[in-house]
Structure 1
Amino acid sequence: MHLYQEQQLKIYNSLNGDKELFKPIHEVSIGMYVCGPTVYSNVHLGNCRTFISFDLVYRYLKHLGYKVRYVRNITDVGHMVDDGDDGEDKIAKKARLEKLEPMEVVQQYSIDFHQIMELFNTLPPSIEPTATGHIIEQIETIKAIIDNGYAYESEGSVYFDVVKFNKDHKYGKLSGRDIEEMIANTRDLAGQTEKRNPQDFALWKKAEPQHIMRWPSPWGDGFPGWHLECTSMSTKYLGNHFDIHGGGMDLKFPHHECEIAQNEASTGQTPVNYWMHANMLTLNGKKMSKSTGNNILPREIFSGNNTILSKPFSPTVTRFFILQAHYRSILDFSNDAIEAAEKGFNRLMEAIDSLDTIKTQEKSSLDITAWKQLCYDAMNDDFNSPILIAQLFEGVRFINLLKDGKETITAKDLELLSKTLKEFTFDVLGLKNDLAGNDSTSDKLEGLVNMLIGMRNEARANKDYALSDQIRDQLKELGIEIKDSKEGTTFSIV
């Protein structure tokens, strides 16, 4: 018997604003699509929160015994700077500014994204399609939408006819927007003369002569619209109707709304049963923004090379901090908050490490089976990781009581306590036990790096700056960053 047959999982469905009992289309197999990154810059912590949240979903579904096909795309064309139809492609703009080929930009930031996701211990998706690798599929989707009467060509571009679609279907069902109100509140905007209505959105954009990324199509050389890409890739790998579609809250409108419309217009089917949205991350109470400087990158957290935090924090502590809040709630990142998370994480790991020291008795005074179900109840309630973590700390309390001889436990119950605590900590939450000095290897590494730091300090004292820089640079190449301060020199693994 699979665990999913014993547990009643409920998921908050953004489509109707309610928690629903999860019933997969196929009993054992689940299809899940999550909108991935647009690879034009280093992935920031807010993006990482979304991907860590859906890694939690993926891990728990697998833990319950489901076979999950998890598709997360890479957007490498068609995402305009202002998320609209006009302006400049984000990747093309970066390529122009840095005098690179667009695919060099894509490669650079795709590698960075994968490295960061690995550091955060997220499981790779089953399939990771790219938009540029599915141009043919996107053209076929556009043809189907045109054939069904919901799109039109205009001056080499193709637009989705929102007003016509709304007569037969419902545009705005996910975001709760009313198309009539949207039309009434829209002024005629410059640059929208190709469209029949300002609400219409691009399925295919004509490439201007200077546009680098372009493909031939029945409507001339151009490139796909951002919304279209996810429709084509999700249906190719998961079918016209699948279980879960996820992404950040900021994608609900227009991106996901347009996806629903495109699917219904091309296939006649509503594509997704459960829409899930992860909320935003703020920094010191304010929205994260690169333009205002209120922003921090994951590597800056791991290295300590920033002006916000008092010291470096490991990827697993950062992950633990993120999972201490429910994925649908706003989470504020600050030095005090992550310091508190680190203390909690260390307590949890120390308790797990001390399990082997507990002596067993003939009787148990603790109900471990009931506690285990409370852990499942937390995750069954829309993947409520903060409640799960609270239950794990109840397990920590049990361990401390047992160590102090204030409670008793049988060998069988101790095994159940250990197994449950470890499964939910490592398999479901995806944490890693990386307490400093956990093994002799980390001790040796620390000793070796400190020896090199001593050699570098001696070189600097002798004004041998070439050797000093060489030691610093070669350590950096190995992923070890050293930081000089008034208190001395420290290092962190990045």
Structure 2
Amino acid sequence: MKLYEEQELFIYNSLSKKKEKFTPIHEGAVGMYVCGPTVYSNVHMGNCRTFLSFDLVFRYLKHLGYKVRYVRNITDAGHLENDGESGEDPILKKARIEQLEPMEVVQKYSVDFHNVMARFNAHPPSIEPTATGHIIEQIRIVENIIAEGYAYEINGSVYFDVMKFNTDHQYGKLSGRQLEDMITNTRELASQSEKKNPQDFALWKKAEPQHIMRWPSPWSDGFPGWHLECTAMSTKYLGNNFDIHGGGMDLKFPHHECEIAQAEASNKINPVNYWMHANMLTLNGKKMAKSTGNNILPNELFSGENDVLSKAFAPTVAKFFMFQAHYRSILDFSNDALEASEKGYNRLMDAYRSLEGLPTSNSSSFNVSEWRQSCYDAMNDDFNSPILIAQLFEAAKQINALKEGNATITEADLKLLEETMHDFIFDVLGLLDIASEGNSETNKLSGTIDLLIELRNKARAEKDFGTSDRIRDELQEIGIQLKDGKDGTTYSLN
């Protein structure tokens, strides 16, 4: 029996605005699409939180035994400024600034994105299509929408007719916006555009002479609309109706709203059964923004080379910190919060490492089976990672009681406890044990501490207690505690 057959998973559906029992279209298989990055700059922490949230979803679905096809795209064309409707293509803008070909910009920042996600120990998606690799599919969808009467051409550009669509469908059902209210709020802009109505959005844009990235189409040499790209790539690899579509909360409108409209107009079917949206990150209580300087990039976080935090934080610690908040809640990055999370991470890992060699008994004072189900209950409740982590800390508390002889556990329960801890810490949350062997950064740290312990032992042998105490005290100040025992000196990270 697969785990998904004995566990009931509920997902908060942004479309229905409530939690719904998850029932995939095809038994035992899940199709999931997540909007990927527009690759014109280094990926920022807000993006990382979104992608790590869906990595958690991907991991848990696989853990339950589902066969998951996870599609996450790369936007390498067509995403204009102002929500993809007007302004300049940021990739072309960066190419001009850096004096590069647009595809050099795309490659440079795609590599950065992949490197950062690898450091966070995120699984790569099953398929990672690019917008430029699916121009033909996008042109066909535009042709379908025109044929259905929901789009029109003006001066070589093609626009989606939102008002016409709304007579037969419901535009705004995902975001909860009423078209009448949108019309009232934007009426004064109508004369400034070639579109029939300000709410209409581009399916295909005629390229201006200076626009380098362009492709031939029945309407003009141009490029696809940003919203169209995700419709084309998601339906190509997952079908016209698939299980889960995810992305950041900021994409709900207009991007995802437009995706629904395009898909329904072209394919005459609701494209997605469960819409999921991850919330934003703030930094020290304020919105992250490069323009104000209230911003930090992942590599600046990992290296400590920033003006925001007091020290460097390992990728897995930052990931652990992010999972201590639910993916649908706003999360504030701050130095104090990260330091507290680092201490919690170290406590959890110390407890996990302590499992090996614990004494067993004929009875258990800790109901491991009940605790194990509580871990599943947390994840089954819309991937509630903070509740899962609270359950893992409850296990850590029990492990410490076992170490101190204040609790008992049977051999079978100890094995179940170890397996469950391993599954949820490493397979589901995707954390790394940075004190384990094979981690180069940790090996450097361990080597450094071992050298200091050797120097301290030498100082003690020479009765230089001032130096030995200084080594011990200064390591303590940075969170490394030395423990002197009959078998020598060991250390732990606080």
TM-score, structure 1 length as denominator?
0.89
Change (3 A) 1:110 1:400: same
Correspondence for 1:413: 413
Report Cα offsets for 1:322-377 as digits up to 9, x if no partner: 00000000000000000000000000100111111310011112110000000000
Give me the whole-angstrom Cα distance separating, in 2, the residues matched to 1:120 and 1:85: 33
Cα distance in 2 for partners of 1:192, 1:13 equals 37
User: Structure 1 residue 181: deviation in Å?
Assistant: 1.5
Question: 1:199 and 1:35, CA in 2 relative to 1: closer, same or farther beyond 3 A?
Answer: same
After TM superposition, the structure 1 = structure 2 runs for residues 29-40 of structure 1, keeping only pairs within 5 Å, are: 29-40=29-40
What amino acid maps onto 2:59 in structure 1? R
CA gap of 1:449–1:147, structure 2 versus 1, over 3 A, is: farther
Q: Is 1:373 equivalent to 2:373 in the alignment?
A: yes
Does 1:128 find its partner at 2:128?
yes
Name the CA distance, whole Å, in 1 between partners of 2:419 and 2:117. 26
Amino acid at match of 2:270: T
**For the structure 1 residues 334 and 443, does the alpha-carbon distance in structure 2 shift closer, same or farther, using more than 3 Å as the test?**
closer
* 8 Å contact from structure 2 (residues 190, 197) kept in 1: no
Q: Are the equivalent residues in 2 in contact too, given 1:205–1:224 (CA < 8 A)?
A: yes
Aligned sequence identity (%): 71
CA distance in 2, matches of 1:443, 1:259: 45
Q: Structure 1 residues 440 and 13, CA, compared in 2 at 3 Å: closer, same or farther?
A: closer
Summarize the Cα distance change of 1:380–1:76 in structure 2 as closer, same or farther, 3 Å threshold: same
Give 1:68-217 correspondences, 5 Å limit.
68-189=68-189, 192-217=192-217
The equivalent residue for 1:300 is: 300
Number of the residue aligned with 2:314: 314
Aligned residue for 2:346?
346
Find the aligned partners of 1:332 and 1:82 in 2 and give their Cα distance. Answer: 26
The 3-state SS of whatever aligns with 2:415 is helix
Greater mean alpha carbon deviation, residues 286-295 or residues 85-94? 85-94
The alpha carbon displacement at 1:86 in A equals 1.6
- Tell me the residue number matched to 2:278: 278
Instruction: Provide the residue aligned with 2:383 in structure 1.
Output: 383
Aligned partner of 1:4 in structure 2 is: 4
Say if 1:188 and 1:327 are closer, same or farther in 2 by CA, change over 3 A.
Answer: same
The runs of at least 4 aligned residues of structure 1 exceeding 6 Å deviation read 447-450
**1:360-415 C-alpha deviation (Å, 9 max, x unpaired):** 01111211000000000000000000000000001101101111111111100000
Unaligned runs of 5+ in 2: 450-477, 479-494
Q: Distance in 2 between matches of 1:267 and 1:444?
A: 55
1:48 correspondence with 2:48: yes
C-alpha offsets along residues 65-94 of structure 1, whole Å, 9 cap, x if unaligned? 000000000000011122142211111111
Q: Quickly say closer, same or farther: Cα 1:196–1:324, change in 2 above 3 A.
A: same
- The correspondence of residues 392-471 of structure 1 with structure 2, limited to 5 A, is 392-435=392-435, 445-446=444-445
Number of the residue aligned with 2:459: none
Determine if contact 1:188/1:198 at 8 Å carries over to the other structure: no
In the TM superposition, residue 310 of structure 1 has moved relative to its aligned partner by 1.1
CA deviations on 1:97-144 (whole Å, 9 max, x unpaired) are 111110010000000000000000000000000000000000000000
Which whole-Å CA distance do the structure 2 matches of 1:231 and 1:273 have between them? 14
What does residue 233 of structure 2 align with?
Answer: 233
Q: What is the CA distance between 1:416 and its match in structure 2?
A: 0.4
For 2:131 and 2:439, the matched residues in 1 are separated by: 45
Q: Is the 8 A contact 2:32 2:70 kept in 1?
A: yes
Instruction: Please list the CA deviations of residues 148-167 of structure 1 after superposition, one character each: whole Å capped at 9, or x if unmatched.
Output: 00000000100000000000
Q: Are 2:160 and 2:202, in contact at CA under 8 Å, matched by a contact in 1?
A: yes
How far the C-alpha of 1:445 sits from its partner, in A, is: 3.5
- Distance apart, 1:175 and its partner CA: 0.3
Q: How far, CA to CA, are the matches of 1:102 and 1:132 in structure 2?
A: 12
- Deviation, 1:315, is 0.4
TM-superposed CA distance for 1:304, in Å, is 0.4
Counterpart of 1:356 in 2: which secondary structure? coil
Distance 1:39 1:374, change over 3 A: same
Deviations 1:449-469 (Å, cap 9, x if unpaired)?
99xxxxxxxxxxxxxxxxxxx
Distance 2:16 2:83 in 1: 25
Q: What is the CA–CA distance in structure 1 between the aligned matches of 2:18 and 2:82, rounded to whole Å?
A: 31
**Counterparts of 1:438 and 1:245 in 2: how far apart (Å)?**
38
Query: 1:194 deviation in Å?
Result: 1.4
Return the letter of the residue paired with 1:212: I
Helix, strand or coil at the partner of 2:188? coil
* 2-structure distance, mates of 1:225, 1:419: 48
- Could you tell me how far 1:446 is from its partner in structure 2? 4.7
